[in-house]
Structure 1
Amino acid sequence: MSNNSDDFPPPPARRPRYGVDAPAFPAVTGAAGLACGLAAGRRRPGSNAMLAAATVLLAHTGVYLHTTLRGKLRVWERELGRAGLKGDERLLDMGCGRGAVLIEAARRLPRGRAVGVDLWSGKDQSGNRPEVTLANAAAAGVADRVEVHTADVTALPFPDGSFDIVTGALALHNIPSREGQYRALDEAVRVLRPGGQLLVADFWFAARKYAAHLEEGTLRGLGPGYWYGSPLLGITLLHAVKGGRRRG
Structure 2
Amino acid sequence: MPGARYGMDAPYGFGFVGLVVLGFWVTGLVLAVTGGPGDAVPALVSGTLLAGCLVLSLHATLRGKFLVWRDVLDGLDLRGDERLLDLGCGRGAVLLAAARRLPRGRAVGVDLWRGRDQSGNTPAATLRNARAEGVADRVHVVGGDLRRLPYAAESFDLVVSSLTVHTIFGADARAQAITEAYRVLRPGGRLLIADLARTPREYAAVLAGLGARDVGVRGLGWRAWWGSPWVQTRLVSARKPAAG
Structure 2 unaligned regions, length at least 5: none
| Separation (CA, whole Å) in 1 of partners of 2:2 and 2:218 | 34
Q: CA deviation at 1:46?
A: 3.1
Q: State the partner residue of 1:131.
A: 124
The superposition leaves residues 129-168 of structure 1 with CA deviations (integer Å, 9 ceiling, x where unpaired) of 0000000000111000000001111011111111000001
> 1:201 corresponds to which letter in structure 2?
A
> 1:19 corresponds to which letter in structure 2?
G
User: Which residue of 201, 206, 213 corresponds with 1:213?
Assistant: 206
Q: CA deviation at 1:34?
A: 1.7
Q: State the partner residue of 1:5.
A: none
Q: CA deviation at 1:113?
A: 0.3
Question: What is the Cα-based RMSD across aligned positions, in Å?
Answer: 1.2
Aligned length: 232
The superposition leaves residues 169-207 of structure 1 with CA deviations (integer Å, 9 ceiling, x where unpaired) of 011111112111111111111111101000000013110
With structure 1 as the length reference, what TM-score do the two structures score?
0.91
SS in structure 1 of the partner of residue 198 of structure 2? helix
The answer to whether the Cα contact below 8 Å between 2:179 and 2:206 also exists between their aligned partners in 1 is no
Q: CA deviation at 1:109?
A: 0.3
1:88 to 2:76 alignment: no
With structure 2 as the length reference, what TM-score do the two structures score?
0.92
1:29 to 2:17 alignment: yes
1:163 to 2:145 alignment: no
Written as runs of structure 1 = structure 2, the 5 A alignment for 1:1-248 is 13-42=1-30, 43=32, 44=35, 46-215=39-208, 216=212, 217-243=215-241
The superposition leaves residues 19-49 of structure 1 with CA deviations (integer Å, 9 ceiling, x where unpaired) of 1101111111111112211222231363110
> 2:28 corresponds to which letter in structure 1?
A
The answer to whether the Cα contact below 8 Å between 1:22 and 1:124 also exists between their aligned partners in 2 is yes
| Separation (CA, whole Å) in 1 of partners of 2:145 and 2:20 | 35
The answer to whether the Cα contact below 8 Å between 1:29 and 1:60 also exists between their aligned partners in 2 is no
SS in structure 2 of the partner of residue 155 of structure 1? coil
Percent pairwise identity: 48
| Separation (CA, whole Å) in 2 of partners of 1:175 and 1:212 | 17
SS in structure 2 of the partner of residue 230 of structure 1? coil
Task: Tell me which stretches of 4 or more aligned residues in structure 1 moved more than 3 Å.
Answer: none
SS in structure 2 of the partner of residue 198 of structure 1? strand
